[in-house]
Chain A
């Protein structure tokens, strides 16, 4: 019998009765998603991996999301896969803008290593305990967190006099382009 996500939720709630676990709501939330507190993330993940009935031996992917201007602003998302029971399950952790810190799950699934580096690279969320938290897709000297909503898509701004300091007078080269005065015979 396939493992229903409702059953997974029930088992997690039974195992962690004192932890504030919420279910994600929304008109079109197509996969059952639980929001768990950051301090219990590693425990819950270890339980989901090791429990025989659940056996989420694989972390399919994890990533971040920015919900600016909502408070808390960020989320990290964990998509778990149970090869044994052909089931998926999704966990989320809310992350604040002031303290964007989440414990790493590399100890549970080593594959989280690059995913967490990517999330750090894109959103500036740090993963405490991560063995090698460096930028992965962007250059090492990149400034800023490109997938944050307040980071512009980026393009080279066209230089006008109003946005280029010191460019108040048209340059001499532009004068050449001005139309020449033409004299007509009739004048």
Chain B
């Protein structure tokens, strides 16, 4: 009998690859001998484009990277630019940013859970998780006017103040959320089919995870307690009270449990942020009063000559950071998302580099699936939680 391996192309047009990912698999029967992810189908040259835009003009681009967590991308971009400018935003702005990025984490994990469950054959969960995701999208809509591409954060603050009734709506959502997470868990956590499809599947040891640069829930699922919100805090995260859930075995089931626990923790952080914003005022200052970097208030522009000049300068040229470079990372729902800026003193970045978590995490896919069954590849891709917009940039 002849025996030879077969090469199979999974994707790029395959629903379980979460976008246009192509995985070249070498199969021996049902066993995966070699696995090679092939990417780039969604490449739009965002890093190149940023060199031709002012800093503010690049913010809408960041929404389109990881398009299911726009606020985290905005935050990382703005924090990196603020680090370059040496600007610190007020406590109120920080709290609003924390609230929205935690809602983003909830929504991103909801999308992940729904689609991951669909991949493995549990269709029902999708309808539950997308119900809650839609609520977060309407909250984005409320603050920014867009459901998905929010572009709400600005360098030095926010695009506008939070609208009336915003906090009440967030509070309602955050109060209801733990009940919904219970629903998801009742559908999955003890479901024997779910356990069979995820437990022991696509394991990643802690040493491998570190060597391959894996971050976020995928790293924590392998038992490494590393969360930038705790270990390298930004936006005042050190003042919030929350836990960092970790797994033990580093398999798909542990990554699932970590993410579900993270949704619960995010609701706790969001609650604390809401209390803080209430204490600091539902209406208030939403940007730093340094009009070399941010637009002055519109009322001032109409009455003050100086404010008018600042307005014109910022709209026409943007702001001018000093010569230098800065890297700032945040804990995005998928892992460490960072922006690296090189400034030559002009109003456009000389170089913008995006450290996207999905790009790095996907690289560990062959480690997870080689020598395993082909059906587990789908579970593995789902469990890493990738977004191709962010991988290809």
Contacts and interface: CB of A to CB of B under 8 A. Distances in A.
Nearest to A92: B325
Interface string B335-353: 0101010110000001101
Interface residues of B, number: 41
A114 interface: yes
B112 to A, nearest CB: 22
B7 to A, nearest CB: 17
A63 B353 contact: yes
Contacts of A77: 340, 353
Given A57-B210, A61-B353, A114 B363 contact: yes
Interface string B144-164: 000000000000000000000
Contacts of B342: 65
A146 B231 CA distance: 36
Nearest to B322: A28
A65 B350 CA distance: 9
Interface string B355-388: 1000110010000000000000000000000000
Interface residues of A, number: 37
A28 B353 contact: no
Given A60-B336, A137-B392, A153-B48, A109 B39 contact: no
B43 A153 contact: no
A114 B359 contact: yes
Contacts of B232: 86, 88
B324 A146 contact: no
Interface string B210-245: 111100000000001010000110000000000000
Contact of A83 (B47, B226, B326): B226
A109 B322 contact: no
Interface string A153-171: 1000000000000000000
Nearest to B226: A83
Contact of A153 (B49, B84, B212): B49
B210 A138 contact: no
A90 B355 CA distance: 14
A28 B320 CA distance: 12
A28 B323 CA distance: 6
A31 B325 CA distance: 8
A interface majority secondary structure: loop
A65 B327 CA distance: 14
Contacts of B350: 65, 67
A34 to B, nearest CB: 13
A110 interface: yes
Contacts of B212: 110-111
B48 A111 contact: no
Contacts of B39: 136-137
B271 interface: no
Nearest to B83: A30
Contacts of A83: 210, 224, 226, 231
Contact of A57 (B84, B211, B329, B355): B211
Contacts of A24: 325
A109 B327 contact: no
A18 B6 CA distance: 53
Interface string B23-48: 00000000000000001100101011
Contacts of A1: none
A86 B211 CA distance: 16
B224 A147 contact: no
Given A26-B325, A28-B325, A60-B336, 19 more contacts: A28-B322, A28-B324, A30-B83, A30-B325, A30-B327, A31-B327, A60-B329, A61-B338, A61-B340, A61-B355, A77-B340, A77-B353, A79-B340, A83-B224, A111-B212, A111-B213, A114-B363, A137-B393, A153-B52
25 contacts: A24-B325, A28-B86, A30-B324, A30-B326, A31-B325, A31-B327, A33-B325, A58-B211, A60-B213, A60-B329, A60-B336, A60-B338, A60-B355, A79-B327, A79-B338, A83-B231, A109-B211, A111-B212, A111-B360, A114-B359, A114-B363, A137-B40, A137-B43, A138-B43, A153-B48
Nearest first, the 4 A-B pairs at minimum CB distance are: A28-B324, A111-B213, A28-B322, A30-B326
